[in-house]
Amino acid sequence: MISLSHVSKSYFLGEEEVKAVSDISIEIKQKEYLSILGTSGSGKSTLMYLIGLLETPTTGKITLDGKDVSKLSDDTLSSLRNRYIGFVFQSFNLINKFTVMENVLLPTRYVKKGLDFNPVSRTEDLLKRFGIWERRNFFPNKISGGQQQRVAIARALIMKPEIILADEPTGNLDTKTGDEILDILEDLNKDFGVTVILVTHEKVVADRTKRKIYIKDGALAKKYL
């Protein structure tokens, strides 16, 4: 589905070059459930941004469904992200001036071509599935953290993506609620065939996935720490 071939990503701090990701080659297959495991500053977030087409590589090639997407324009990458990838973040990234339902519907507002589904009906189905239908008219700052993350997952799914990228999705949650969120992500992979990529620094979270990719100092490693 998506592969990285000898991908590196560098940034400049003044005249100093900082290599956040260094010569990484990985292949992620359709319907996989895997984790990217690394400590803070290891490069795992940059790797996630590359996989999620939020960043372009300095060197190397990224292919999505066999097509080289490494050097596409921002507009084209944005369209591909909206079509293929849903994002779930540690801080939920919900918009407090919008209701729960409006937050979930938000990605559909940026589609220039017609949708092949009814966005309101799909939103209703997702909110009911995740047990937050009764909170549909609430604003995000009026519901719990666990409920906010469920809303974020529903928003990530609204465009029927093939890939869900979850960046520390349990980081702001207590253990019980975090386990519930991981159960949801696992069910999405098992029951709906969505490829789930979980980015985390917690080995106990990564152990829930079927495959682990270790990253240290911007490069692939054979083990964690």
Question: pLDDT, tens digit, for every residue of 138-185?
Answer: 999 999 999 999 999 999 999 999 999 999 999 999 999 999 999 999
Q: What is the CATH number of the domain that holds 31?
A: 3.40.50.300
- Half-sphere exposure (CA, 13 Å, Cβ side) for 166? 34
Question: pLDDT, tens digit, for every residue of 94-115?
Answer: 999 999 999 999 999 877 677 8
Asked if residue 185 belongs to a domain, the reply is yes
In terms of pTM, does the model score above 0.85? yes
Asked if residue 61 belongs to a domain, the reply is yes
Residue 107, SS3 per DSSP: helix
Asked if residue 153 belongs to a domain, the reply is no
Helix axes 175-192, 145-157, angle to 10 degrees: 20
- Determine the pLDDT at residue 213: 95
Asked if residue 72 belongs to a domain, the reply is yes
Asked if residue 192 belongs to a domain, the reply is yes
Asked if residue 137 belongs to a domain, the reply is no
Question: pLDDT, tens digit, for every residue of 67-86?
Answer: 899 888 888 898 888 889 99
Which helix or strand (DSSP H or E) is residue 192 part of?
helix 175-192
Q: Which range marks the domain in which residue 61 is found?
A: 2-93+161-221
Residue 68, SS3 per DSSP: strand
What total of structural domains would you count in the chain? 1
Compute the distance between CA of residue 169 and CA of residue 172 in angstroms, rounded to an integer.
8
- Determine the pLDDT at residue 160: 92
Asked if residue 118 belongs to a domain, the reply is no
Asked if residue 63 belongs to a domain, the reply is yes
Residue 46, token pair as written in the block: 């940059």
Over range 42-47, report the average pLDDT: 93
Is residue 62 scored above 90 in pLDDT?
A: yes
> Are the CB atoms for 158 and 108 separated by under 8 Å?
yes
